[in-house]
Structure 1
Amino acid sequence: MRILAMDSSAVSASCALLEDEKLIGEQYLNVGLTHSQTLMQLVEHLLAAAHVKPAQVDGFAVNSGPGSFTGIRIGVAAVKGMAFAQGKPCVGISTLESMAYLFEGFDGVVCGAMDARCQQVYQALFEVRNGQVIRLCEDRALTIAELTAELKCLGKQVLLTGDGAHVCEKAFAEQGIPFRLAPLHLRYQRAYGVARAAQQAFAQGKGVDASALLPSYLRLPQAQRELKRRQAAGK
């Protein structure tokens, strides 16, 4: 199966083309430009370089959240558009799960953490065993203190990855959490991980029509949270 995967859930943008177990190509850019400027350019360059037409793609995948609200919307819209135009299935992948798929050669617990601001992280735990990625908990938004307390009870060394690693690192060290940082070139989400997770999702029959693909934010945008807070205060 030939899968075109995209990620625009944080600062970087990337796309990858995977055919069965073979990575055909990947484009990655981390320059601070908006994803509306970069994502589809990366896709166009990748397909042109691989001599693959959109119609030759069997399925499309995207990190559908958690992450940047704007970035997720752009990525989901891009995949919905391409999947609809080609009449092909698509799948939304948890950003945190796609990050764990970058460590298929690792045996142990992967702690994916994305910076959610205000001393919070979007977080999930996965165990990687013999090349298999096993989810240990659902995606959630936690304070760093809550995550630290949970990992202290876990009592295992974890591989800390994601753009939230830098906000967790000090707290983990202070509380004696056994951890090591993922290497920089694997620490941030990449479309290759999306494609690998999508392979499993398609094999399990989780592909959907473009109209059914939706973002997964985990929590409301800041503006809506503020509105709810003001409404509650006014009661």
Structure 2
Amino acid sequence: MLILALDSSAAPASAALLEDGKILSEFYINTKQTHSQTLMPMVESVLKLTNKTLDDVTCMAVSAGPGSFTGVRIGVSCVKGLSMTRNISCAGVSTLRAMAENARQLTGIVCAVMDARCGQVYNALFRAEDGKLTRLCDDRALPIAELLEECKTFTEKIYLVGDGAELCYKTFAAIRAELLLPQLRFQRASGVAMAAQEMVENGQTVTPDALMPIYLRLPQAERELKAKNAQKNNK
């Protein structure tokens, strides 16, 4: 099984190739270039340097959200375009699930958080034990204070991952949560690939047509428009 995975859900972008559980190659970049400029060259590189082609790929995976609305759209569109002509199956991986892969070998609660602005974070909780991850809740958007109250109920060690981890770290001081190192904190295409492997094994892949972004909230412009319309209707 050969999985080609992409991540463009936040500022960095990456591409990785996974074969039967082994990462063959990974390209990670964190510059001011747009993902529309960097993703395709990275895909070409991870394939070329491993002497693989798209015809060898069994499944294409992408971090489908939550995350940057523009970044998620670019990643999903790229995977749909590449897979459609060859009818390659697709896996839309939760960005939060992908970043939790970095803490799979730890023991405790993995708290995956992304900055959702407006005092909220995108979050999912996982239990890491014996090299396995167990999801404890669905992906959601919630206030940091509310997340803290929930995490206080756990007796296990809590590990913070994601671009919202540092944002939560001081607030979580009372429960002594641990902030993972930067190289383990953020989502990468290798994590997307590992999560996608489980989806393939569990029959959770979809056709290219059915692959869609995962938005937990409306884009800011749509939220503002909805608020304006509500104000007009209340007058």
Residue in 1 aligned with 2:167?
167
Answer yes or no: is the 8 Å Cα contact 1:9–1:63 preserved in 2: yes
C-alpha distance in 2 between matches for 1:126 and 1:13? 24
Deviation for aligned residue 1:67: 0.2
Tell me if 1:211 matches 2:209.
yes
Deviation for aligned residue 1:149: 1.3
Deviation for aligned residue 1:31: 0.9
Residue in 1 aligned with 2:28?
28
Deviates more, 1:155-164 or 1:195-204: 155-164
C-alpha distance in 2 between matches for 1:172 and 1:106? 19
Deviation for aligned residue 1:26: 0.3
Cα deviation, 1:116-160, whole Å, max 9, x if unaligned, reads 112111001001111111000000001111111111223432100
- TM-score, scaled to structure 2: 0.97
Q: How do residues 7-18 of structure 1 correspond to structure 2 at under 5 angstroms?
A: 7-18=7-18
Tell me if 1:180 matches 2:175.
no
Tell me if 1:224 matches 2:208.
no
Q: How do residues 55-134 of structure 1 correspond to structure 2 at under 5 angstroms?
A: 55-134=55-134
SS at match of 1:153: coil
| Aligned length in residues | 233
Which amino acid in 2 is paired with 1:5?
Answer: A
Answer yes or no: is the 8 Å Cα contact 1:156–1:178 preserved in 2: no
Deviation for aligned residue 1:215: 0.3
RMSD over equivalenced CA pairs, Å? 0.9
Answer yes or no: is the 8 Å Cα contact 1:119–1:167 preserved in 2: no
Answer yes or no: is the 8 Å Cα contact 2:166–2:179 preserved in 1: no
Answer yes or no: is the 8 Å Cα contact 2:107–2:157 preserved in 1: no
Residue in 2 aligned with 1:202?
200
Deviation for aligned residue 1:74: 0.3
Tell me if 1:190 matches 2:183.
no
C-alpha distance in 2 between matches for 1:122 and 1:225? 17
SS at match of 2:99: helix
Point out where structure 2 has 5 or more consecutive residues left out of the alignment.
Answer: none
C-alpha distance in 2 between matches for 1:11 and 1:153? 32
Answer yes or no: is the 8 Å Cα contact 1:102–1:192 preserved in 2: no
Deviation for aligned residue 1:104: 2.0
C-alpha distance in 2 between matches for 1:211 and 1:155? 43
Identity %, equivalent residues: 52
C-alpha distance in 2 between matches for 1:178 and 1:156? 11
Residue in 1 aligned with 2:40?
40
